[in-house]
Structure 1
Amino acid sequence: DDKNPSLFFPWDFSEHNTGREAQLESQRHSFVVTMGRMHSRGKGISASALPYKRTPPSWLKISYQDVEENICKFAKKGLTPSQIGVILRDSHGIAQVKTVTGSKILRILKAHGLAPEIPEDLYHLIKKAVSIRKHLERNRKDKDSKFRLILVESRIHRLARYYKKTKKLPPVWKYESTTASTLVA
């Protein structure tokens, strides 16, 4: 009886799982742990499932040169990499550019010298901060917008720090609210 671990650890139900405990134990291992959002309580666990097969579909009759030409054409029109991906998916039937070309959209744009100078997610945060600031010029007493602007700008600073560390932004790049509208214009 001295060797029975349940005497020392009464909360260990590994041998005695019956009924509800067994059901809870099986559920506990089936949850997907996801990262929470920075300034809200959401977990954001919904996502599309990527296909396991990493080869282009057999019905797709477009060559990788044509895909690269389309990507460059859309980038010259001023579309972002996400918008290019949506257009290729919806109107050309290319679910994933990487399966067809072997490289992602941004890498193709970099190879052709068409990549945006500011990463896309940072660009959209700056755009949001500019629109909130413009709103605050008209509505000075809007305290909630003032608070949201602080949150958005702190996200901008955090993301800029990451992009400087990974060399996607120059080390001297700095976000300033006064010059932000010229960045997104």
Structure 2
Amino acid sequence: MARMHTRRRGSSGSDKPAADEPPEWSDVDADKIESRVVELAEQGYDPSQIGLKLRDEGVTGTPVPDIKLATGKKVTEILEEHDATADVPEDLRNLMERAIRLRRHAERHPQDYQNKRSLQNTESKVRRLVTYYRGDEIDADFTYSYDAAVSLLEE
């Protein structure tokens, strides 16, 4: 599939190996994994960072290669059960932070036309995601603007 704002196609990546159960060397209890996920979320980590942290460090020193195989739930499902989800979804938050950085750069460097184009593309992606999440994850009357993004991310 082609990229959204260019004519190039993406490079193919590797697939995860198909497995039905966690490996034998990773025998961590599912309750311990869930408590560690909630603990990391309270420390301010995003769901993708939590997965990487558990993969690298583990719960009690034993790495957890796949949280969904070990617990039967995704990281976001665990966070929803324990009411530890963020106000804004992770992908939307990252795009908004990028748009804010690009806007501040454009104010300092008005002749940077590549930055202006990148800002337009990023804000377009943000608007698409806002319409996707509107009503479920964010307010039904939320519309993206620079000021709204700054106030939303400062909270």
Q: Using structure 2 for the length normalisation, give the TM-score.
A: 0.90
Distance 1:36 1:66 in 2: 41
Unpaired segments of 5 or more residues in structure 1? 1-34
Question: Alpha-carbon deviations, 1:36-61, whole Å to 9, x = none?
Answer: 21012333243332221121111112
Q: How far is 1:94 from its partner?
A: 1.3
Q: How far is 1:184 from its partner?
A: 2.4
- What is the percentage of aligned positions where both structures have the same residue? 35
User: Which runs of 4 or more aligned residues in structure 1 lie more than 6 Å from their structure 2 counterparts after TM superposition?
Assistant: none
1:158 paired residue number? 128
Distance 1:47 1:184 in 2: 32
Q: How far is 1:146 from its partner?
A: 1.2
Is structure 2 residue 124 aligned with structure 1 residue 172? no
- Cα RMSD of the aligned pairs, angstroms, is 1.5
Is structure 2 residue 97 aligned with structure 1 residue 127? yes
What amino acid maps onto 1:90 in structure 2? D
2:50 paired residue number? 84
1:183 paired residue number? 152
Is structure 2 residue 114 aligned with structure 1 residue 148? no
Q: How far is 1:143 from its partner?
A: 1.7
Q: Secondary structure at the match of 1:178?
A: helix
Equivalence map 1:102-141=2 (5 Å): 102-141=72-111
Q: How far is 1:179 from its partner?
A: 2.6
2:7 paired residue number? 41
> Relative to structure 1, is the Cα distance of residues 124 and 99 closer, same or farther in structure 2, using a 3 angstrom cutoff?
same
Of the two structures, which has the highest relative contact order with CA contacts closer than 8 Å and spacing of 6 or more? 2
Question: Alpha-carbon deviations, 1:95-154, whole Å to 9, x = none?
Answer: 211001100000100111111121111110000000001111211221221121111101
Q: How far is 1:169 from its partner?
A: 2.6
Q: How far is 1:175 from its partner?
A: 1.3
> Relative to structure 1, is the Cα distance of residues 42 and 90 closer, same or farther in structure 2, using a 3 angstrom cutoff?
farther
Distance 1:115 1:48 in 2: 29
Distance 1:137 1:83 in 2: 31
Query: How many residue pairs get matched?
Result: 150
